[in-house]
Structure 1
């Protein structure tokens, strides 16, 4: 089947998409585009990577689990039946095709057409009129070997993917994948947030039972909990894990509390309701202890800060979490973040750290905070992480890059990641790289930077790949 050719809507994405001048074009095409991808934070399912899953159709690989698209479709008044409901995969795709022309000026419009172009060679804009032809064409392509889960990653020159994994996961898929001898590396990332989620004692009690089962440790005290977490960190490390990750509204800092951790823990596992102060103190101390464990292993710790989750209670009950009802929060970040990082730094146990910010009003807060704890031991030890979630669009990326450039060193930046559940999301690295090169190219054209192609090209290459390759200990 030939690639669909539009008579009326050829793609607006040209070779020089987002590149405003000759300097930006040189930087992108000569220095950025060729770099491999290290995607050090995503939510790809490791079982599908290890099994080299093939996808039944474009809907199953492109629309399933993508809450960005789901939010847009709901905003258009499309029924939930065609989003997460019982409609057929074709019907869901047709509704998305109908929605796409209405997403102009939302990053979904750019991402959609980059993904169709880079994976399927489709150079036309998607709409309801050509939906059937594109649906059938993509489905035919998806049956080819290079469109399996591993094939899709290979097409975009992905070298490393770091999945997001709970401490109780057995990591069997990572182990099986390692035995395949692939040039692609799949590494686990330790996400232990459930281990200190004492705000829901009933759920917490069940989680601790599971953690005890996995570690063969009887978890009857707070010290037992720490021993079990160290056990799992050791296991993750043996399986190639070098990263932790936390999703928090804000960090915790409660140094003067008179509360007893063991008492709080025993109340939580016996399903007693805790006070707000008990919850905050428990989270703070557990995160500090985890931070020390990460430092002991030489890991990178990541903190995703600022999301206000599950705002729509009716939809949470009906559809569950991570279905498109989260938003930016307006939490106070500076004081607790400073105290938390300082406590670990004071004992020289502050691991390499990436701070992701979801509220753009806090960009300068995060950028300055990172600079407080660089100590000359590691290049870019404390990172202001890439624009995240609602901010990983052109304006959000530019603001993050500019804040980091103005306050820190953009030359030390470890670059972009997908933070995605979709195997088709990796053109977001291209999107970031084009935006990055355009900002540098604009400065050269304005006379704000020298026209030193070799040096600035090196900085671009470093941000796109080399810095991350050096920062993370993946054994490349």
Structure 2
């Protein structure tokens, strides 16, 4: 019987152990998509206790606590930080076979050197030990990033953001390079005409420009895209249920924008045309600047109206959508490619039924100019676990070049999430190791080690030019 979370956790063969310990284990991290706070990084924030850094904002844990019958008062409510931690400790033994059980204990081990299992019996001891360490300088936000060897991270930022904290970080001695990423979803959300008009009004003030027509809107947004580039951005991102690729003319979109500014209801077709026009325009700017664009597809968001009204978004009420992706995605990518305006692109799917769809889709638009120009991103959100990662790696291996894959990212709001990279790397080495042990791959240790280090770090470094 193997010991829980020992040095060879998830490594089922001697070859896998060699590959992980000799090549993968000590590679640094490029985290090219996350939701970390640039303000907390710039201020080198020191958390008061483990709840603040571990539970606040982590909707993965919140969902588990709700499923365990924990009252919302102890999750997002007014309970004390200790009471919330106590309820998480009460929940964690019930998360066995959920990835949270692995992640939580990896995080306790890697950051705090705590090998006790979290439970109501150990909660107070772990609380005290973590909190004592969190008061030391090496456990500040920048210290936590340095501990995990995070060399580069890209936050997720709205076009209206001032990027003041990125500017502070650029001139600091932070060992992690922190870059903004352009996330303009609110600028194209014509589902909510009131919200969109409020957004345009803020853009008017920021750009000191009257925005009553579509051309001025594009001019203002382009100025923000340029501003992001001036402040180090080279990555954009969208979180969409589907790619939008409805046919449109400039005349039609200009008319639709006037309706938006007059708060006149749009038809379903007009709504899709506006979103399609905006998405296409963002993609053109990305190509113009040589950026990498990311599309996170397939989330069905804010499903619980009652709790959404009281708690808000990103609180654990999202799920996997089952809408079709392939045809619209092909139209969108093909339109850009036919004009030779397709930037380096990363696609992520949330529905595992679309794994092979995405793995096959990227092959349509590889053009020989860049190794792995089109990427199918790592297993995302609900798929970010042992089975999901393994299935993504296998599907990509079968239909593309795993060796050119840019590897793992956290997509997290927590500074304690970086052991997910270790989790991915262990699974990657185990897959290669099993193939060698089964005689399906030759044991060319140096070449396999190179491929693994490329997937863990080098490919992303080259792809993003960080």
Q: What TM-score bracket applies, with the shorter chain setting the length?
A: over 0.9
Aligned partner of 2:299 in structure 1 is: 307
Q: Which of 147, 157, 171 is 1:165 aligned to? A: 157
2:408 corresponds to 1:424: no
Aligned partner of 1:284 in structure 2 is: 276
Whole-Å separation in 2 of the counterparts to 1:181 and 1:414:
27
Whole-Å separation in 2 of the counterparts to 1:215 and 1:320:
29
2:239 corresponds to 1:247: yes
Does the 8 Å CA contact 2:166/2:180 hold for their aligned counterparts? yes
TM-score (norm 1): 0.96
Aligned partner of 2:360 in structure 1 is: 368
Whole-Å separation in 1 of the counterparts to 2:258 and 2:275:
14
2:324 corresponds to 1:332: yes
Aligned partner of 2:169 in structure 1 is: 177
Aligned partner of 2:106 in structure 1 is: 114
Whole-Å separation in 2 of the counterparts to 1:25 and 1:316:
45
Shift of 1:225: 1.3
Whole-Å separation in 2 of the counterparts to 1:271 and 1:115:
48
Does the 8 Å CA contact 2:356/2:395 hold for their aligned counterparts? yes
- 5 Å-filtered alignment, 1:69-468, equals 69-255=61-247, 260-468=252-460
Change (3 A) 1:256 1:212: closer
Structure 1 residue matching 2:414: 3-state secondary structure: coil
Structure 1 residue matching 2:181: 3-state secondary structure: strand
Whole-Å separation in 1 of the counterparts to 2:115 and 2:311:
35
Does the 8 Å CA contact 2:142/2:174 hold for their aligned counterparts? no
Does the 8 Å CA contact 2:116/2:122 hold for their aligned counterparts? no
Shift of 1:374: 0.5
2:461 corresponds to 1:469: yes
5+ residue gaps, structure 2: none
Q: Deviations over 1:445-466 (max 9, x none)?
A: 1100001110011000000000
Whole-Å separation in 1 of the counterparts to 2:451 and 2:81:
44
Does the 8 Å CA contact 1:371/1:408 hold for their aligned counterparts? yes
Whole-Å separation in 1 of the counterparts to 2:441 and 2:48:
50
* Greater mean deviation of Cα atoms: 178-187 or 22-31: 178-187
Whole-Å separation in 2 of the counterparts to 1:102 and 1:259:
57
Structure 2 residue matching 1:450: 3-state secondary structure: coil
Structure 2 residue matching 1:170: 3-state secondary structure: coil
Shift of 1:226: 1.1
Whole-Å separation in 2 of the counterparts to 1:282 and 1:44:
30
Aligned length: 465
Does the 8 Å CA contact 1:118/1:427 hold for their aligned counterparts? yes
Q: Deviations over 1:138-184 (max 9, x none)?
A: 00000000100000000000001100000000000000011113331
Whole-Å separation in 1 of the counterparts to 2:65 and 2:451:
39
Does the 8 Å CA contact 1:38/1:468 hold for their aligned counterparts? yes
Q: Deviations over 1:327-368 (max 9, x none)?
A: 000011000000000000001000000000100000000111
Whole-Å separation in 1 of the counterparts to 2:298 and 2:439:
37
Change (3 A) 1:141 1:11: farther
Whole-Å separation in 2 of the counterparts to 1:42 and 1:406:
28
Does the 8 Å CA contact 1:201/1:270 hold for their aligned counterparts? no
Whole-Å separation in 1 of the counterparts to 2:207 and 2:362:
35
Shift of 1:236: 0.5
Shift of 1:256: 5.7
Aligned partner of 2:44 in structure 1 is: 52
Q: Deviations over 1:236-278 (max 9, x none)?
A: 0110000000000110111267971111112112222211111
How big is the alpha-carbon RMSD for the aligned residues of Structure 1 and Structure 2? 1.2
Whole-Å separation in 1 of the counterparts to 2:337 and 2:206:
32
